[in-house]
Amino acid sequence: MRVPINTITPDTPSAEVIGWAHEIRDLGGLAFLLIRDRTGIIQVTVPKKKVAPEIAETIRAISRESVVRVTGMVKPEGKAPGGRELIPDAIEIVSLSATPLPLDVAEKVPAELDTRLDNRFLDARRPRVSAIFKIRNAVQHATRNFFFDNGFIEINTSKIVAAATEGGTELFPIAYFEKEAFLNQSPQLYKQMMMAAGFEKVYEIGPIFRAEEHNTTKHLNEATSIDIEVSFTDHIGVMQTLEDLVRDIYQFVDKTCSDAIADLGLDSFAVPEKGFPRLPYSEAIEIASAKCEEDIAYGDDIGTAAERAIGEEMGRMYFIVDWPSSIRPYYAMPYENDPEICKAFDMMHPRMELSSGAQRVHQHDLLVEQIAKKGLNPENFEFYLNPFRFGMPPHAGWGLGAERLVTTMLGLPNVREAVLFPRDRHRVVP
RNA sequence: GCCCAGAUAGUGUAGUGGCCUAUCAUGUCGGCCUGUCACGCCGACGACUCGGAUUCGAAUUCCGAUCUGGGCGCCA
């Protein structure tokens, strides 16, 4: 019976392991074979004169990264990693690996991200890479738990749509029989429709597609969005939900992923403290214009340099609130007493934006007015506007970039590190 | 969309016109080696992205193509 490598202790009498040949060190009369599975590494020690001759022969035939099965006695051994080693009774090559390897799994020689992504299955054999995806798994698990516990309904909406929901962003056109269709850039419209459907609290974890030709370490053309929409609340309410969720995710990762965190070599893993500051846009602009060379004025979008300057000043996760209505989408609810600003927010990590959301406009006529104000034709929004005519409750929501959350949480240098098979400007394979 | 940079063995690199039959590491193959843990030692193998130009001579300069990385804008 095969056992996971990390379950073998110095007290284990005997074991069968199946895993990948991580390294082979042949000293002549004595050989060491390191076997790795997803739980850890164990050393197989082969004193060639004391084991069956066919075992010594098999050892010579093993190439690195082959899948091998070893059964044998476990011996406590201070000199071996993990304080134990395996003395083989039998070794079998289950699947021989070809040589040379396209990249060095043992990480003696680094590989560039591009090489790694071309050979992602090999790259992901490296503990520091698989650790990222174990943590990503915990992030999504914690997210689903959080929403389930808080009475949210998970929805799955179509990624094939007839038109843009928000405008602005470029869409990927696809052939849909005799019609033109697109890959969806956001579940925004569907979430809002479910408010009209009376679901009250919904969330979706799903892909979003954006055909923008950006080329940065924080953009993807296919990303995973954690999206919520909640009725009978406002932006303040969903901001609190967002802060609670993010802290909950960090706590869950902290509690359940200590091995993965250690594999990543993180010195510290800090759960963000309660009470993310709510920084009004106008104050954010003041900080940015004081710290940045370039001219930054009220009404400008917050660019990369400004974002960095403000993040430095804040030094923790924070919200930017009370944005000018002019630079937010038509569906962001303007303040009743000051329609020049709106109930929209961004949630920021000092490094980058993680989420944006708002209380939405739920009044049909106001929405038409807002669409027209943006220079868009309300007639093109029939499909979107229809639910607003038949009893749309007040509601608010946000979208949170799952990859960015993981990237900032783990201090990864590039958002592509947090995606198994990233899609960017140049990459469609594998 | 705009801008910048880069492309050398399987991998990661050195190399600013002749000293390049191209450096180093890792790897692979062969040999030696009984406590390695980046094992060590000896030997071998393996590369200048493509096309054009300049030049007596190009990995190196220039032009074009292809591929790649990054910055900006916009965004999650």
Secondary structure string (H, E, C) spanning A164-191 = CCCCCCCCCEEEECCEEEEECCCCHHHH
Find the mean pLDDT for residues A119-140: 95
- Contact, A428 CB vs strand B, < 7 Å: no
Return the sign of the alpha-carbon dihedral for residues A104, A107, A109, A111.
positive
- A311 within some domain: no
Rounded-to-integer distance, Cα A310 and Cα A300, Å:
14
Give the distance from CA A394 to its chain's centroid.
Answer: 30
Give the distance from CA A218 to its chain's centroid.
Answer: 11
For residue A272, the 8-state DSSP code is: P
Looking at the structure, do residues A231 and A140 belong to the same domain, yes or no? yes
pLDDT of residue A265: 86
3-class DSSP state of A338: coil
Find the mean pLDDT for residues A285-306: 87
In this structure, what CATH number is given to the domain that contains residue A351? 3.30.930.10
pLDDT of residue A380: 82
Looking at the structure, do residues A78 and A210 belong to the same domain, yes or no? no
Looking at the structure, do residues A223 and A344 belong to the same domain, yes or no? yes
- Contact, A407 CB vs strand B, < 7 Å: no
A17-42 core/surface letters (b: 16 or more CB in 10 A; e: else) = bbbbbbbbeeeeeebbbbbbbebbbb
- A388 within some domain: yes
Looking at the structure, do residues A44 and A140 belong to the same domain, yes or no? no
A416-430 core/surface letters (b: 16 or more CB in 10 A; e: else) = bbbbeebbbeeeeee
Domain residues for the domain of A353 are 121-277+316-418
Nearest nucleotide to A79 (CA to C1') is: B35
| pLDDT above 90 (res A271) | yes
For residue A135, the 8-state DSSP code is: H
Rounded-to-integer distance, Cα A195 and Cα A218, Å:
31
Looking at the structure, do residues A128 and A45 belong to the same domain, yes or no? no
Return the sign of the alpha-carbon dihedral for residues A370, A376, A380, A384.
negative
> With bands split at pLDDT 50, 70 and 90, how would you rate the model's confidence at A167?
low
Nearest nucleotide to A216 (CA to C1') is: B70
- A209 within some domain: yes
DSSP A342-400: EEEEEEE-SSSEEEEEEEBP--HHHHHHHHHHTT--GGGGHHHHGGGGS-PPPEEEEEE
Give the count of domains, chain A. 2
A34-43, A199-208, A299-308: segment of lowest average pLDDT: A299-308
- Contact, A404 CB vs strand B, < 7 Å: yes
CA torsion, points A105, A109, A112, A118, in degrees to nearest 10? -30
pLDDT digits (tens, 9 = 90+) for A346-392: 999 999 999 999 999 999 999 999 998 888 888 888 888 999 999 99
| pLDDT above 80 (res A299) | yes
Looking at the structure, do residues A149 and A261 belong to the same domain, yes or no? yes
Looking at the structure, do residues A262 and A348 belong to the same domain, yes or no? yes
Helix axes A235-256, A402-410, angle to 10 degrees: 50
- A100 within some domain: no
- A113 within some domain: no
Looking at the structure, do residues A74 and A148 belong to the same domain, yes or no? no
In this structure, what CATH number is given to the domain that contains residue A67? 2.40.50.140
> With bands split at pLDDT 50, 70 and 90, how would you rate the model's confidence at A156?
very high
| pLDDT above 80 (res A268) | no
Rounded-to-integer distance, Cα A302 and Cα A428, Å:
31
Looking at the structure, do residues A17 and A137 belong to the same domain, yes or no? no
- A301 within some domain: no
Q: How far is the CA of A426 from the C1' of B64 (A)?
A: 21
- A423 within some domain: no
Return the sign of the alpha-carbon dihedral for residues A293, A295, A298, A304.
negative
- Model-level pTM greater than 0.90? yes
- Contact, A419 CB vs strand B, < 7 Å: no
- Out of A78, A95, A112, a domain closes at A95
Name which of A148, A160, A166, A154 is nearest A357 in CA terms.
A166
Count of other CB atoms within 10 angstroms of residue A282: 12
With a pLDDT cut of 70, the percent of chain A lying above it is 99
| pLDDT above 70 (res A107) | yes
| pLDDT above 70 (res A168) | no
Q: How far is the CA of A117 from the C1' of B37 (A)?
A: 29
Instruction: Find and give the residue nearest to B41, measured CA to C1'.
Output: A27
Rounded-to-integer distance, Cα A179 and Cα A182, Å:
10
Rounded-to-integer distance, Cα A389 and Cα A395, Å:
15
pLDDT of residue A165: 55
Rounded-to-integer distance, Cα A169 and Cα A167, Å:
6
pLDDT digits (tens, 9 = 90+) for A15-63: 999 999 999 999 989 999 999 999 999 999 999 888 898 999 999 999 9
- A246 within some domain: yes
Return the sign of the alpha-carbon dihedral for residues A318, A225, A111, A20.
positive
Looking at the structure, do residues A132 and A89 belong to the same domain, yes or no? no
Average pLDDT of chain A is 92
Give the residue carrying structure tokens 């009044």.
A363
Count of other CB atoms within 10 angstroms of residue A108: 7
Looking at the structure, do residues A198 and A235 belong to the same domain, yes or no? yes
Name which of A5, A4, A179, A180 is nearest A80 in CA terms.
A5
A23-27, A80-84, A99-103, A163-167: segment of lowest average pLDDT: A163-167
Which window residues (299-318, chain A) lie with Cβ within 7 Å of strand B?
301, 303-305, 307
Nearest nucleotide to A294 (CA to C1') is: B72
Chain B nucleotides with an atom closer than 7 Å to a protein C-beta: 1-3, 10-13, 25-29, 32-40, 67-76
Give the distance from CA A398 to its chain's centroid.
Answer: 16
With a pLDDT cut of 90, the percent of chain A lying above it is 76
A189-193, A321-325, A424-428: segment of lowest average pLDDT: A424-428
Find the mean pLDDT for residues A164-188: 81
Looking at the structure, do residues A62 and A140 belong to the same domain, yes or no? no
pLDDT digits (tens, 9 = 90+) for A185-199: 999 989 999 999 999
Burial of A173 (0-12, 13-18, 19+ CB in 10 A): exposed
> With bands split at pLDDT 50, 70 and 90, how would you rate the model's confidence at A245?
very high
pLDDT of residue A381: 85
Name which of A163, A184, A195, A57 is nearest A382 in CA terms.
A163
Rounded-to-integer distance, Cα A253 and Cα A401, Å:
17
Q: Compute the C-alpha angle A166/A225/A368, nearest 5°.
A: 20
Rounded-to-integer distance, Cα A352 and Cα A367, Å:
30
Task: Evaluate whether A319 touches A302 at the Cβ level (below 8 Å).
Answer: no
| pLDDT above 80 (res A164) | no
Amino acid letter, residue A204 = E
Nearest nucleotide to A404 (CA to C1') is: B76
